[in-house]
Every structure is written in C-alpha cells, then in structure tokens.
Amino acid sequence: MEPADVALICRALGDSNRLQIVQMLSGGDKCACKLLEHFEITQPTLSHHMKILCGCGLVKVQKVGKWAHYSLNRETFSAFQEYLGTLARGRGTEE
C-alpha cells in the first residue's frame, strides 16, 4: 500500500459520520436505507459518503435489486493497519 492510498483512507475516516459508518459495517453488512436510519443526514449525503468510502477501497458495495448492500473491505483495512504498524516501528521514510 502506497502513502497516497493511506492518506486517502485517512481522509475518508477523518469525517465522524464516515467513521461511524465503518464502525457499523464492521459489525456486519448493511444496506443504505438501514445505515441512513442512524444518521441525521439526507439520503444524497449518505450516498456521497458511501462513494468516498468505496473510492478509497475501505467499503465494498453489492447491488441487489434496488438495494445497495455495503460491507467493510477487510483486506484493505488490514493493509491499512499493517502500514500503520510498520510506520510505528520506525520503518518509514527516514532521512
């Protein structure tokens, strides 16, 4: 995983609503309307957030009929965690 990807993921997680969405998805897949119930935002705004979460690879979407089932992409999440791990161990871009 490249630093640019990591920054993209961090920007995605840098919004409280999106962080909460990821939290909810970590507990299991959810469709958009289900997610929407838990927030004080409109449907277009949620759609916008989901696009950002999908865009950075953190979330996957599966269209079923008229529903969109969202799920956490655990591969991306693991790679993200691993990057932070190596960073913490001082294996980053040293001088």
Partner DNA sequence: CTGACAAATTGACATCTGTCTATGCAGAAT
Partner DNA sequence: ATTCTGCATAGACAGATGTCAATTTGTCAG
Which residues are near its own copies by CB under 8 A?
Answer: 3-4, 6-8, 10-16, 19-20, 22-24, 26-28, 30, 34, 38, 72, 74, 77-78, 80-81, 84-85, 87-95
As a whole number of Å, the CA-based R_g of the chain is 15
Q: Which does 58 bind (CB under 5 to 8 A by kind): its own copies, DNA, none?
A: none
Amino acid at site 3:
P
28 touches DNA by CB under 7 A: no
* Phi, psi dihedral angles at 28 (to 5 degrees): 140, 160
Residues 6+ apart with CB under 8 A from 83: 1, 6
List contacts with DNA (CB under 7 A). Answer: 11, 14-15, 17, 31-33, 36, 40-52, 61, 63, 65-68
